[in-house]
Amino acid sequence: MRFLRRATSARDQGTAAQQRAASHQDRALVVRLLARDEAAFVSLVRTEHESLVRLALVFVRNRATAEEVAQDTWSGVLAGLAGFEGRSSLRAWIFQICSNHAMRRSAREARSTPFSALGGPDEPAVDAGRFEADGHWAHPPHAWRADTPEQILERAEAVACIGRVLDELPPAQRAVVLLRDVEGLDAAEACSVLQVSEANQRVLLHRGTLEGPPGAREASWRRVKRC
Amino acid sequence: MLTCRQMTELVTDYLEGRLSWKDRFRFQLHLGTCRHCREYVREMKVAVRALGRLPPVEIPPATMDALMERFRSW
Ligand SMILES: [Zn+2]
Give the pLDDT band of residue A1 (cuts 50, 70, 90).
very low
Who among B17, B52, B64 is closest to A15 (CB)? B17
DSSP structural state of residue A11: G
Kindly list the structural domains of chain A, giving each domain's residue range(s) and its CATH number in brackets, ordered by start.
16-108 (1.10.1740.10), 146-227 (1.10.10.10)
pLDDT at position A20: 66
Alpha helices, H only, B1-74: 4-15, 21-33, 35-52, 61-72
Distance CA(A96)–CA(A111), nearest Å, equals: 20
A80 part of contact set with chain B, CB < 8 Å: no
Range(s) of the domain holding residue B53:
4-73
Give the pLDDT band of residue A17 (cuts 50, 70, 90).
very low
What 3-state DSSP class applies to A131? strand
Look up the CATH number of the domain holding residue B8. 1.10.10
Split into its structural domains, chain B has a count of 1
For residue A72, pLDDT over 50 is answered with: yes
Q: Are the Cβ atoms of B50 and A221 closer than 8 angstroms?
A: no
Angle at A131 between CA B41 and CA B20, to 5 degrees: 45
CB A133 within 8 A of CB B5: no
pTM (two decimals): 0.83
Nearest to A126 by CA among A30, A194, A222, A45: A222
pLDDT at position A36: 96
The CA B37 to ligand 1 mean position distance, Å, reads 4
Largest CA-CA distance found in chain B, in angstroms, rounded? 64
pLDDT at position A173: 86
Q: Is A105 left (phi over 0), alpha (psi -120 to 50) or beta?
A: alpha
